[in-house]
Amino acid sequence: MKKRAMLSRAAAGGVTLALGLTLAACGGSSSGGNGSGTFHVLVYGDATNKVEKQIVDTFNKTSKVKAVLDTIPGADYQQKLQTIINTKQAPDVFFNWGGGSIQPFVKAGLLQPLDGMIAKDPALKSDFLPSVFNGAVIDGKPYGVPMRGTQPVLLFNNAQVLKDAGLTPPKTWDDLLSDVKVLKDKGKTPIALGGGDQWPTLMWFEYLYDRIAGPDLFQKAMSGDKSAWDSPDSRKALSMLKQLVDAGAFGKNFDSVKYTDGGSVALVATGKAGFELMGSWYYSQQQQDHPDFAKSGLGYSTFPTVDGGKGDPQDIAGNTNNYYSVMKKAKNQDAIAQFLKLMYSDEFVKAQMAIGNLPTTTNTEQFLSTSASPAYSQFQYNLVKSAPSFQLSWDQAYPPSAITPIHQAVQEFFDGQLDADGFIKAMQALPTS
Amino acid sequence: MTTTTQRVAGRWTVNRSAGRSSAAVIRPGFAWAVPATLFFVLFAVVPLVLVAVLSFTSWNGLGSPQWTGMANWNALIHDHTMIQSLWLSLLITVLGVVVQTPLSLLLGVWAAGRQRNRAVLSAVYFIPLLLSATAISVLWRALLDPNFGVPAQAHWLFGNGNLLGMQSGAIGVLVFVGAWQYTPFHTLIYQGAARAIPQVLYQAAEMDGAGTIRQFWHITLPQLRNTMITSMILMVVGGLTTFDTVLILTQGGPGTDTTISAYYMYQKAFKGFDFGGGSAIALVLVVIATIISLIVVRVSGYDKMRSSAEGL
């Protein structure tokens, strides 16, 4: 009898302890709740936060409703966002990559379509470059406002290596193939590729598919029509990629090379390779890793055209921009609309340019000369401005569950584990929602 | 509550001093086990049950999980990558044991000697164990870069240096890096155990004319039997839980060539946000780990806790 009493008392003690733990756990997150006169802005934590902080301060100077900036550091952003977005700790406004990164949230009815805000202030749409603004349009409705810099993918080169081989940056695909042959005969790796990271390989697919089939093929596939992958255009793109790989364009050990640990970057900088296809951040990467080379020897050009291709030669691919999206349940929608207006302000553009980002607002043009590398900024800006279509990276256009299968498929196609049929099958098996 | 516990504790003491007959010992009440049990239930059983439930649902972390019955399990059974991942986990574990055991055994026995140079070398050799697995992986990733790392200087050994671009090479690297990191630890275990072997045995063997090699086979090895079992169990556990080296060195690639089960689970749940599918893999891993630990305990006689130093 006594024993049982003791047991239950101990159990009660244990429960209290457990309750205490739970309460303690809750206590830590109460700061995430929505106070009445504030809204929370969640951004990816990195060096650009300096600008976001400045813009929030500017906003708070005049607004009664205050913005609070929260950051999630580093690469875990998407995971952590996913875990909090449907809880009380969810932010009101948050950073994202547009496309597939917000599509599941749209499907779950969590996001506020921005057409209401745009109706009240048309500049929220018209002051941004259309090809970039479209990156966060889902099912015909806008869900995001561009809030950082654009990062189109370019074909970079080592100017000295090209000069020594008597070459110029390739204008057409055939030029590229013949450049590859010349460089290979000279004992160089014609094109550096960080295949170990997988996503650099994907960039070749994005561009070639667009050049050959135009943006429609991918749009069709994304909307669920899987036959697009088995179309003649798709097969043509694959056979051309295969031809490039088989010609030894990337050498034989590209899957052991990474971009993220500086391997492929060094290949180009040290003159062991001629070209590398990479996002526009490549320039600052080279500035950081190989400053002398970045200053004197780094060249860049657009992706070569393909004869007879349906895609516009001015189309580009890459990261359109990052976006602010608004939660449907956010209380201070009007204040948030005022906040978003700052994303096309002169102050915003200047602050972004100062840290090396290239904003995608129409007024950016006036400030291009203030950039640290004006020619490079001008080149990119013109590219993005005149691009009829800006293909969002496939791994960002698809929902997150497709990322790994896409990366695996492109890697396996390049290293010969998958043939065209295998690749087509892998792409057809991707979840589109 | 305080008085009750004291009373129980007191009774236990009294009983013990009263007589040594074990039947008379009143074991401490179950209450003593409550905190541990609660923690176990809270942090092991509850998550396990939740994972089991989740494995029958489709859930991407938003909204509430949708009940899908056996869908995840059906997909898993037909999932080529899953089956391959189990074999890969097994292969990496077995290779780990096969490579590390002889190395650490020999090094451990060698390091058990009392010479000063051995002590210094052992200390140096112990360093990899002090580094984090992540740091080690990053280090080897850079060292094995085909254009700027060791392979670029040693073409005769590495060919074109495409170590991480082919399955055999990538598995080899994973096993090698694992061995580089953990052999020192097992060496330490063997060193300690070898030092505990009574010198009289060696002295007697020497009198009988046994050389160093015979002494090793007939005294050292048999005396280290239990140590070997302990060390191997640790290696099996380490092999099955390999994760960080894969994450940093190969990311499961090329393709899915080094996608071991733990990494596959991570990919599904935390990169693809398919928590249902990820949970199913997790549950498979729990079942397999339980079976393996049961087998190891049974086969090794670990549960009987026999001492190899009996009679001393």
Q: Which residues of B touch A254 (CB under 8 A)?
A: 165
Q: Read off φ and ψ for residue B204, nearest 5 degrees.
A: -65, -45
Helix A232-246 and helix A173-185, axial crossing angle in degrees, nearest 10: 20
Q: A86, B34: Cβ pair inside 8 Å?
A: no
**Closest CB to B62 among A6, A9, A108:** A108
The residue among A408, A377, A310, A323 whose CA lies nearest residue A152 is: A377
pLDDT digits (tens, 9 = 90+) for A296-332: 899 999 999 999 999 999 999 999 999 999 999 999 9
Find the CB nearest B145 among A82, A263, A401. A263
CB contact under 8 A, A415 and B4: no
What residue type is A346 in one-letter code? D
- Best A256, A408, A430 member to test B by mutation, with max B CBs in 10 Å, is A256
User: Half-sphere exposure (CA, 13 Å, Cβ side) for B207?
Assistant: 6
- In this structure, whether the domain defined by B81-302 belongs to CATH 3.40.50.300 is answered with no
Both tokens assigned to A290: 């190989």
* Mutation site, B6, B273, B274, interface A, largest A CB count within 10 A: B273
Gap between the Cα atoms of A147 and A150, Å rounded? 9
Given a cut of 80, whether residue B63 has pLDDT beyond it is no
Could you tell me what percent of chain B has a pLDDT over 70? 88
Min Cα–Cα distance to chain A from B87, Å: 19
A349-357: average pLDDT: 90
Alpha carbons A224 and A200: distance in angstroms, whole number: 25
What local confidence, expressed as pLDDT, does residue A3 receive? 41
- CA Rg, chain A, in Å? 25
User: Which of B60, B56, B50 has the alpha carbon at shortest distance from A85?
Assistant: B60
Q: pLDDT value at position A159? A: 96
Q: Where are the alpha helices (DSSP H) in A109-198?
A: 115-120, 123-126, 130-133, 159-164, 173-185
- Given pLDDT bands bounded at 50, 70 and 90, which one contains residue A6? very low
| Per-residue three-class SS string for A352-408 | HHHCCCCCCEHHHHHHHHHCCCHHHHHHHHHHHHHCCCEEECHHHHCCHHHHHHHHH
Sign of the Cα pseudo-torsion (A394, A399, A404, A405, in order): negative
For A158, the 3-state DSSP assignment is strand
CA end-to-end distance (rounded Å), chain A: 60
Residue A79's pLDDT band (cuts 50, 70, 90):
confident
Token digits of residue B165: 């671009």
Q: Which residue shows structure tokens 């492929």?
A: A264
Query: Is pLDDT above 60 for B82?
Result: yes
| Chain B residue with minimum CA distance to A106 | B62
Binary contact (A6, B4; C-beta < 8 A) = yes
Block residue for tokens 């390739």: A170
A57: enclosing H helix or E strand:
helix A49-62
Which span out of A85-89, A244-248, B218-222, B307-311 was modeled with the highest average pLDDT?
A244-248
A367-385: average pLDDT: 91
- B chain contacts of residue A404, beta-carbon cutoff 8 Å: 267, 271-272
Read off φ and ψ for residue B113, nearest 5 degrees: -60, 155
Q: Residue B246 above 60 pLDDT?
A: yes
Confidence band for A209, pLDDT divided at 50, 70 and 90:
very high
Q: How does strand A137-138 pair with strand A273-279?
A: unpaired
Cα torsion through A160, A161, A167, A169, rounded to 10: -80
Q: Is the pLDDT of residue B5 over 50?
A: no
Query: Residue A422 is which amino acid?
Result: G
When pLDDT is cut at 50, 70 and 90, the band that residue A17 belongs to is: very low
Torsion sign over Cα A222, A223, A228, A233: negative
Please tell me the predicted confidence (pLDDT) of residue B304: 63
Answer yes or no: are the C-beta atoms of B130 and B269 closer than 8 Å.
no
CB contact under 8 A, B251 and A196: yes
Q: Which of A113-117, A129-133, B47-51, B232-236 has the lowest mean pLDDT?
A: B232-236
Q: How many angstroms separate the CA of residue A233 from the nearest CA in chain B?
A: 25
CA torsion sign for A397, A400, A404, A409 is negative
Query: Would you call B271 and A14 a contact, using CB atoms and an 8 Å cutoff?
Result: no
Alpha-carbon distance of B70 to B48, in angstroms, equals 18
Convert the pLDDT of each residue in A135-164 to its tens digit.
Answer: 999 999 999 999 999 999 999 999 999 999
Say what the pLDDT of residue A26 is: 37
B128 touches B136 (CB < 8 A): yes
How many other C-beta atoms are found inside a 10 Å radius of the C-beta of residue A433?
14
* Residue-wise burial string across A289-326, b where 16 or more C-beta atoms lie within 10 A, e elsewhere: ebeebbeebbbbebbbbbeebebbeebbbbbbbbbbbb
Task: Classify each residue of A232-244 as buried b or exposed e, where b means 16 or more C-beta atoms within 10 Å of its C-beta.
Answer: ebbbbbbebbbeb
Q: What is the pLDDT of residue A91?
A: 95
Phi, psi of A142 (to 5 degrees): -75, 135
C-alpha closest to that of B55 among B75, B27, B31, B30: B75
Q: Which two tokens stand for residue A274?
A: 């001629």
Q: Supply the mean pLDDT for chain A.
A: 89
Please give the structure tokens belonging to residue A204: 């070749």
Q: Cβ of A253 and B270 within 8 Å?
A: no
3-class secondary structure, A273 = strand
Assess whether pLDDT exceeds 60 at residue B4: no
Q: Which of A169-183, B127-141, B292-306 has the highest mean pLDDT?
A: A169-183
| Chain B residues near any Cβ of chain A (below 8 Å) | 1, 4-5, 8, 29-31, 34-35, 38, 42, 60-63, 138, 141-142, 144-148, 160-166, 169, 250-256, 267, 270-274
Of A199, A208, A192, which Cα lies nearest the Cα of A157?
A: A192
User: Would the pLDDT of A171 be above 90?
Assistant: yes
Average pLDDT over residues A170-197: 96
Residue of B63, B250, B256 with shortest CB distance to A408: B256
Q: Which helix (H) or strand (E) holds B305?
A: none
Contact A86 B63 (CB under 8 A): yes
Which residues partner with A95 through β-bridges? A324
What is the per-residue pLDDT for B43?
Answer: 92
Asked if A256's CB is within 8 angstroms of B146's CB, the reply is yes
Task: Among A7, A253, A276, A395, pick the best mutation site for testing chain B contact (most B Cβ within 10 A).
Answer: A253
**B227 contacts: CB under 8 Å, gap ≥ 6:** B189, B190, B193
Count residue pairs from A and B with Cβ separation < 8 A. 125
Determine contact, residues A102/A325, Cβ cutoff 8 Å. Answer: yes
**Structure confidence at residue B184 (pLDDT):** 93
What is the pLDDT confidence band of residue B23, given thresholds at 50, 70 and 90?
A: low
For A70, list phi and psi in degrees, rounded to 5: -115, 145
User: Taking 60 as the threshold, does the pLDDT of residue A4 lie above it?
Assistant: no
| Alpha-carbon torsion (B244, B246, B251, B252), positive or negative | negative
A57-66, A363-372, B223-232 — most confident range:
A57-66
> Running DSSP on this structure, what letter comes out for residue A70?
E
Residue B57: pLDDT band by 50, 70, 90 thresholds? Answer: very high
Q: Is the pLDDT of residue A21 over 50?
A: no
**Helix, strand, or coil (residue B63):** coil
Q: Please report the domains of chain A, with CATH numbers, ordered by start residue.
A: 34-150+321-382 (3.40.190.10), 151-318+398-428 (3.40.190.10)
Residue A22: closest C-alpha in chain B: B42
Specify the DSSP class assigned to residue A361: B
pLDDT at A74: 66
CA-based nearest residue in chain A for residue B173 = A256
Q: Is the peptide bond before B254 cis (omega within 30 degrees of 0)?
A: yes
- Going by C-beta distance under 8 Å and a sequence separation of 6 or more, which residues neighbour residue B10? none
Q: How far is CA A263 from the centre of its chain?
A: 21
Partners of A141 in the beta sheet?
Answer: A138
- Reported as a single tens digit per residue, the pLDDT across A227-267 is 999 999 999 999 999 999 999 999 999 999 999 888 999 99
Contact A404 B271 (CB under 8 A): yes
Burial class, B116, CB count within 10 angstroms (exposed 0-12 / middle 13-18 / buried 19+): exposed
Distance, in Å, from the CA atom of B303 to the CA atom of B312, rounded to the nearest integer, reads 22
Question: Tokens standing for A212?
Answer: 């050959």
Task: Tell me how far apart the alpha carbons of residues A339 and A373 are, in angstroms, rounded to a whole number.
Answer: 29
Compare CB distances from A18 to B1, B31, B38 and report the shortest one's residue.
B38
**What pLDDT was estimated at residue A432?**
78
pLDDT for B308 equals 55
* Whether pLDDT at B3 is above 70: no
Tokens (6 digits) for B126: 């112990």
Beta strand extents in chain B (DSSP E only)? 57-58, 66-67
Tell me if A267 and B146 make a contact (CB, 8 A cut-off).
no
Examine the pLDDT at B10 and tell me if it is beyond 50.
no
Helix (H) or strand (E) holding B116: helix B116-125
Query: To probe the interface with A, which of B66, B80, B145 has the most A CB atoms within 10 Å?
Result: B145
**What share of chain A has pLDDT > 90, as a percent?**
77
pLDDT at B159: 83
CB-CB neighbors (< 8 A) of B162 in chain A: 252-253, 255-256
Answer yes or no: do A6 and B138 touch at CB < 8 A. Answer: no
